[in-house]
């Protein structure tokens, strides 16, 4: 799968999709590894747009590949300092944890 900026990602293919079709990436925020040591099938640089504190975790909204709606989750046990808005961070996740799905048709 390729993002608008050309970033290449690996994902499991959902039903009805063929190579090159438009798709939406489905990935649970807790499956995203955040930080300089993050390493997995998919590795991308991101810019932090917003942090939202939830008590037991912090939700990060990030700009990835030209999109600013990528979400990751940090828990306190991750041992990472919470990044600040505008900061660049490294993200990684396994291809087995995400799925490429056909986008919904507009109503």
Task: Express each pLDDT in 42-63 by its tens digit.
Answer: 999 999 999 998 888 889 999 9
From CA 65, how far away is CA 45, in angstroms rounded?
A: 8
Residue 17: which pLDDT band, with cuts at 50, 70 and 90?
confident
Residue 35: which pLDDT band, with cuts at 50, 70 and 90?
confident
Give 59-74 as a DSSP string.
EEEEEETTEEEEEEEE
Q: What is the pTM of this model?
A: 0.82
């Amino acid at each position: 799968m390729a993002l608008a900026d050309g970033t290449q990602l690996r994902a499991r293919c959902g039903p009805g999709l063929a190579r090159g079709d438009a798709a939406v990436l489905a990935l649970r925020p807790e499956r995203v590894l955040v930080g300089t040591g993050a390493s997995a099938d998919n590795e991308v640089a991101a810019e932090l747009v917003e942090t939202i504190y939830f008590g037991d975790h912090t939700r990060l909204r990030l700009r990835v590949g030209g999109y600013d709606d990528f979400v990751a989750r940090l828990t306190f046990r991750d041992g990472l300092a919470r990044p600040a808005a505008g900061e660049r961070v490294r993200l990684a996740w396994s291809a087995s944890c995400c799925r490429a799905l056909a986008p919904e048709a507009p109503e």
